[in-house]
Structure 1
Amino acid sequence: MDDVLIVGAGPTGLVLALWLKKQGIRFRIIDKSAGPGETSRAMAVQARTLELYRQLDLADAVVAAGHRNPNINLWARGKRRAHVSFADAGTDVTPYPFVLVYPQDLHERLLAERLQVLGVEVERRTELVSFEDKGDHVVARLRTPDGGEQNHEARYLAGCDGARSPIRHALGIEFEGGTYKQIFYVADVALNGLEPADEVHIALDTSDFVAVLSYGGDRNRLIGTVKDERADRPETLTFEDVGHQAIEGLGIEVRKVHWFSTYRVHHRVTGSFRRGHVFLVGDAAHVHSPAGGQGMNTGILDAINLAWKLAMVVKGQAPDSLLDSYDLERRAFARKLVDTTDRLFTFVTADGSFADFVRTRIAPVVASAAYRIESVREFMFRMISQTTLSYQESPLSEGKAGSIEGGDRLPWARSAASDNYAPLADIGWQIHVYGAARSDLRSWCERRRVPLHTFAWRPEHKKAGLQKNALYLLRPDTWVALAEPQQSTATLDRYFSARGLAPGEVL
């Protein structure tokens, strides 16, 4: 019997497989399609995703394959109204102060190849027909490539099977939300006249909207909306049919359309990310507008959140109740994200003369002025990059030291002497001390087999909100679990015993 059956080999399922493999968990990953996707809607890989990709030595490969877009240009009525520099805003926040444009189909292929190197093949043309939760494991009925069927047993089932998730439907879990009235279009094009050519451009007009993302050479992605009567016949639309007012406002000429597609967008969050031994992950659990390029990244972070918890439970280092925190942590974030992207998308696409005036005249001026304020620049970057994501309300989060609370992302604080993110390449519990570690803490870490990393106190640490000589216990997904100002080993013992956790040991 396998530990986990993963259904769906998009980025979410592949990342879950990679993280489970790194932790020594037995699994199968199946997908009913014949191969990876050939086209792509998701384009952006955010900084927080890249930070976590360091755990599998993936970050450098993804950055090298993608195209860095360090700036965003906001256009309205044919003029550039604002210029937002991520390089300036994120340079003290993350090693990755940019939006990486990397089409999902290419991203999937890279992840699948990395899984292949580790000796795991995605089982293509293999479909989940049905499943039954037996209380301590799941029995799944699979249809194999030859048309036959077989039963497969696994302790847990992970539904990474997309927005229409058959697994979610079979569980009968509600998927609350709605559908935007607009039709989205995406197009891969060759074009002339885009300046600067390696930056993101967003154009707002009275009746049109388009975003242009460059991903190297003469490859560009257009994302726009269709709002008028043409939206009633999306299946017959071509690129010539969609509004070109915003495109022309950018001063560009589309020379060739390599690929064009239309689709509707929903904004929904499922009522539960967990039901017994079955989990919903990625689009199966939440979908939202493409505003801000958050969707694929959110699914990837779902998978990483779930993977370390599954590994601890399977290895006997934690009770099954640890898995409930996956639902609590990720559903809360998904709801907040859907609300945020919904408000942003509604603003960008609102109809009416007053809405047009605010969107094309007022908003660009306000955005340009606000961005001159350093704190505003950093806040905007943190929101888009998902580096603000916190689990402070989680039962796994405790304490405060400096301005850092349990549940926060560990701040990046690189100096000439050290990079405090280097130890985070390991998937496992670890403790950081910025200053000097007490001898009893060192003994505790040796006894409990929890790595201890100390960093000579630097001004960069204080600037990042860390407290000198405090103890920061980090979860395997690198968020702060416990922030303890006094380096109390008694507090560490209470933290683990209260939750039934035993890192480095088997219960």
Structure 2
Amino acid sequence: MQDVLIVGAGPTGLVLALWLTGQGVKVRIIGRSAGPGETSRAMAVQARTLELYRQLDLAEAVVAAGHPVPAINLWARGRHRARIAFRNAGSDLTAYPFVLTYPQDHHERLLIERLASVGVTVERRTELLSFEDEADHVTARLRMPDGTEQRCEARYLAGCDGARSTVRHQLGTGFDGGTYRQVFYVADAEAAPLGDPGEAHVALDRGDLLLVLPYGEGRQCRLIGTVQDERAEHAETLRFEDVSHESMASLGLGVEAVNWFSTYRVHHRVTDHFRQGRAFLLGDAAHVHSPAGGQGMNTGISDAINLAWKLAAAVKGRAPDSLLDSYEVERQGFARTLVDTTDRFFTFATAGGSVADFVRTRLFPSFASVAYEFGSVREFMFRVVSQTMLHYHDSPLSEGRAGTVKGGDRLPWVRSGGSDNHDPLPAIGWQVHLYGTARAELRRWCEQHRLPLRSIAWTPAHREAGFGQDAAYLLRPDSYVALADPEASPAALAQYCDVRGLVLG
């Protein structure tokens, strides 16, 4: 019997398989397609995703293969109106103060190679037909590549199978929301760089939206835009020559070649339940939203990492089944907030009419240019886009406050000397951080429970980041703060574990 059957081999399913395998959990991962997609839309890898990838020794490989975008330029009616530089905004917040462009198909291939290196192969052209929750395991019926059927038993089932999820349909959970009226196109192109090489560009024109994302070597870029007027009714037959080139012309963008082109519609939906019995929904199977801010793929990856350490604890008998309920509590709330936020921005960016055009192309660029001069605004915008602002304050796993850091916060990043406090453990697991001097009784308790204790010399930078001197911070395997205790008391740590039935070491 497998520990976890993963249905869907996109980034969400692949990362789930990697994190589970890294914790000694036996997985089987299947996908209906013959291989990674060739015309992917997802391009952005956010800072929080790269921080989590560090724990798999994957971040540097992804950064090396991708293209760090140092800034986004905002254009309106052919005029350059603002330049938003990420490094200025995020250099004190994360080791990755940029947005990384890395096409999803390239990203998937890297994840597949890494998974194969630890002995797990994606089973291609294999389809989930149905499954039954047998109370203590799941029995799935699969169609194999040769057309035959096979039964697979697993303790848990993870539906990472996209917006048309078979797992979600069988569970019968709702998928409330809707579909935007706009049709989008994406083109993989070669074009002369605009301004400083490597920077991204957003053009806002009358009802027209264009995003230019550089990647790779030389002149490679992705163009993402809206299909205007009656052409949207025949989107499936359109070619690149058929879509509006008004924004491209206003930028002076000379497209020299188009490698591929496709159109798509954007939906905004969140499922009613992320967990039902022994089945879970992740990524697009659980939530879909507009591409604003490059959040979609990153959110699915965060779903996978949030669930992976909880599944590992349950499989190994180190936590009760109730721990798995926190997956829905934590991730559904964020998904709903994300859909609402991206919906508002998307509606603003694509609204038609003279008033909307005036606000979008005249007032907003001027406001953005002025506002971004303020450090607090730059930092806030970076935190939102990079997902480093995400917290789980309302989770049943979050408790306490020390300094300004609360249970549920992402561990604030602090650089000291040649390293930082996000350095990963040799293996994925719980740990305690203390900034200052650890008392002997805390050290003994951590040793007895085989819980890594990192005692880091106190500096003014730690105070600025919000830490309390000599306070203890219990960190979850995904580097969110579970317990913040200003007294650094072993009794507080013990009580935290006892109440939740957790075995940490």
Relative to the length of structure 2, the TM-score reads 0.99
Partner Cα distance (1:399, 1:435) in 2: 19
Structure 1 position 332, deviation (Å): 0.3
Match of 1:93 in 2: 93
Deviations 1:38-93 (A, max 9, x none): 12100000000000000110000000000010101000000110010101000000
Partner SS for 2:147 = coil
Partner Cα distance (1:425, 1:348) in 2: 44
Match of 2:498 in 1: 497
Deviations 1:373-406 (A, max 9, x none): 0011000001000000000000000000111100
Q: Is 1:52–2:52 an aligned residue pair?
A: yes
Match of 2:365 in 1: 364
Match of 2:79 in 1: 79
Structure 1 position 197, deviation (Å): 2.5
Q: Which sections of structure 1, spanning at least 5 residues, go unmatched?
A: none
Structure 1 position 207, deviation (Å): 2.7
Partner SS for 1:123 = coil
Partner Cα distance (1:39, 1:226) in 2: 18
- The one-letter amino acid paired with 2:272 is G
Partner Cα distance (1:124, 1:449) in 2: 40
Within a 5 Å distance, the mapping from 1:226-265 to structure 2 comes to: 226-265=227-266
Match of 2:469 in 1: 468
Question: 8 Å contact 1:424–1:478 — kept in the other structure?
Answer: no
Structure 1 position 227, deviation (Å): 3.3
Q: Which sections of structure 2, spanning at least 5 residues, go unmatched?
A: none
Structure 1 position 141, deviation (Å): 0.4
Partner Cα distance (1:345, 1:90) in 2: 24
Q: Is 1:214–2:214 an aligned residue pair?
A: yes
Structure 1 position 463, deviation (Å): 1.0
Within a 5 Å distance, the mapping from 1:149-168 to structure 2 comes to: 149-168=149-168
Deviations 1:219-266 (A, max 9, x none): 100000113111111111111111111111111111111110000010
Deviations 1:456-500 (A, max 9, x none): 001111111111111000001100000000011111111011011
Partner SS for 2:415 = coil
Q: CA RMSD in A?
A: 0.9
Question: 8 Å contact 2:90–2:98 — kept in the other structure?
Answer: yes
Question: 8 Å contact 2:31–2:122 — kept in the other structure?
Answer: yes
Partner Cα distance (2:44, 2:193) in 1: 23
Deviations 1:129-165 (A, max 9, x none): 1100011110000111111111110010000000110
Structure 1 position 418, deviation (Å): 4.0
Match of 2:22 in 1: 22
Question: 8 Å contact 1:202–1:210 — kept in the other structure?
Answer: yes
Partner Cα distance (1:209, 1:228) in 2: 13
Within a 5 Å distance, the mapping from 1:187-198 to structure 2 comes to: 187-192=187-192, 194-198=194-198
Partner Cα distance (2:308, 2:176) in 1: 26
Partner SS for 2:74 = strand
Partner Cα distance (1:283, 1:229) in 2: 29
Match of 2:482 in 1: 481
- The one-letter amino acid paired with 1:230 is R
Distance 1:258 1:461, change over 3 A: same
Question: 8 Å contact 1:181–1:227 — kept in the other structure?
Answer: no
Partner Cα distance (2:207, 2:278) in 1: 48
Partner Cα distance (1:427, 1:403) in 2: 26
Match of 1:202 in 2: 202
Aligned residue pairs: how many? 504
Q: Is 1:172–2:172 an aligned residue pair?
A: yes
Partner SS for 1:321 = helix
Relative to the length of structure 1, the TM-score reads 0.98
Partner Cα distance (2:367, 2:28) in 1: 51
Distance 1:423 1:220, change over 3 A: closer
Structure 1 position 424, deviation (Å): 4.9
Query: Identity rate of aligned residues, in percent?
Result: 68
Partner Cα distance (1:424, 1:186) in 2: 39
Partner Cα distance (2:419, 2:122) in 1: 39
Structure 1 position 417, deviation (Å): 5.7
Partner SS for 1:142 = strand
Partner Cα distance (2:330, 2:438) in 1: 31
- The one-letter amino acid paired with 1:50 is L
Structure 1 position 195, deviation (Å): 1.5
Question: 8 Å contact 2:193–2:219 — kept in the other structure?
Answer: no
Question: 8 Å contact 1:57–1:425 — kept in the other structure?
Answer: no
Question: 8 Å contact 2:5–2:157 — kept in the other structure?
Answer: yes
Partner SS for 2:356 = helix
Partner Cα distance (1:83, 1:419) in 2: 29
Partner Cα distance (2:124, 2:439) in 1: 53
Runs of 4+ residues over 3 Å off in structure 1: 423-426
Match of 1:339 in 2: 340
